[in-house]
Amino acid sequence: MAISATLIKELREKTGVGIMDCKAALTECDGDLDKAVDHLRKKGIATAKKRGGRETSQGQVQSYIHAGGKIGVLVEANCETDFTGKTDDFSSFVKDIAMQIAATNPMTIDRENVPRDILEKEKDIYATQAKASGKPEKVIEKIVEGKMKKFFSEACLLEQTFVKNSDITIQDLLNELIAKTGENIVIKRFSRFQLGDSENS
């Protein structure tokens, strides 16, 4: 049976799981949302967020130098055990994150780390633009909300579309690895260097 995008979105919002896993779960459960939620919980993917409080003291630092040596990235990702930190899956993940940062130049890892003054400035710019077009107040709020969502999807690493697979975000990619390893995994920090820039990200 055909699974609608709306149903996939609803399951994704309920579980925090990637699009492809949601679609697969709904297909397996004949489009039954509740059964699909249970299915994902049994697989352990939907519990990824619950692992967020567990200590992560192991992991890797990886580097990525873009072709021609004009852009370089250092990124640290942490996990719970040395065993997971040395796996090919974990190494590939950290390398992919370094490449993502080189390609997209995010401002922060997540929206909680966007400086308040930048948030206020962005909101003010969007509100001013909407007011100038003569839109009513209620519509202006919706426009600002939509523009801020787009801003976060570009500025925050976890909300960006994965450069190697446009169907998922970096958060989806992270959730999938958490589900696969059974460990809490975090992208701790990064630095991005671009030739000629006076300061790095």
User: Phi/psi of residue 7, each to 5°?
Assistant: -65, -40
Position 57 pLDDT exceeds 90: no
Residue ranges covered by each domain of the chain: 5-46, 51-110+156-194, 115-154
Other C-beta atoms closer than 10 Å to the C-beta of 187 total: 22
Tens of pLDDT, residue by residue over 118-145, are 999 998 898 888 888 777 778 888 888 8
Residue 76, beta-bridge partner list: 61, 189
Give alpha helix (H) positions in the chain. 5-15, 19-28, 33-43, 82-85, 88-104, 116-132, 137-155, 170-181
Tens of pLDDT, residue by residue over 145-183, are 889 999 999 999 999 999 999 999 999 999 989 888 888
- DSSP one-letter code for 3: P
The closest alpha carbon to 56, from 88, 94, 98, belongs to: 94
Does domain 115-154 sit in CATH 1.10.286?
yes
Q: CATH topology for 5-46?
A: Helicase, Ruva Protein; domain 3 (1.10.8)
- Contact between 183 and 87 under an 8 Å Cβ cutoff? The reply is no
Model confidence, pTM: 0.69
CATH of domain 51-110+156-194: 3.30.479.20
